[in-house]
Structure 1
Amino acid sequence: MPSSCKEIREELIECMLKSDCVLKKRNTVKECFKEEHKPDVPSECLSIKKSFGDCRRGMMDPRMRFRGNKTQ
């Protein structure tokens, strides 16, 4: 995995582990990404998840493979 996506991935994991869905409801991180648990996940984690998806998609784009992901 590219190093630029690795940082976002780690940030997403940290955010999810601190969410009510994991701490109070005792769900796994994978279960918390399902639609029925969405109200228990903070909007911050959802925006990090979107950024992670964009990063991964950027690595599959042929134009971006050579130039690399944009750093923020």
Structure 2
Amino acid sequence: MPSCKEIREELVDCLLKSDCVVVKRHTVKECLQFENSADVPKECQSIRRSFFECRRGLLDMRRRFRGNKL
């Protein structure tokens, strides 16, 4: 079964290096809730979107038969 583990790890690494965690001292969970914050770089936001699409692909019954588009 396909997994989104690699994308999740990449997202966490990106957020750990962001100003939201380093400068503002928020947790990764709190930074994920700040969707359009200037402290979260665009790169992390795009990785977050990719992770969401990956997770959605695991739950979508039509995609379960065809597989995730990677």
Instruction: Tell me the TM-score normalized by structure 1.
Output: 0.85
Give 5+ residue unaligned stretches, structure 1.
none
Runs of 4+ in 1 over 6 A off after TM superposition: none
- Give the aligned CA root-mean-square deviation in angstroms: 1.9
TM superposition shift of 1:30: 0.8
- Share of identical aligned residues, percent? 67
Distance 1:16 1:22, change over 3 A: same
Instruction: Tell me the TM-score normalized by structure 2.
Output: 0.87
Higher helix share: 1
Give 5+ residue unaligned stretches, structure 2.
none
How many residues are aligned here? 70
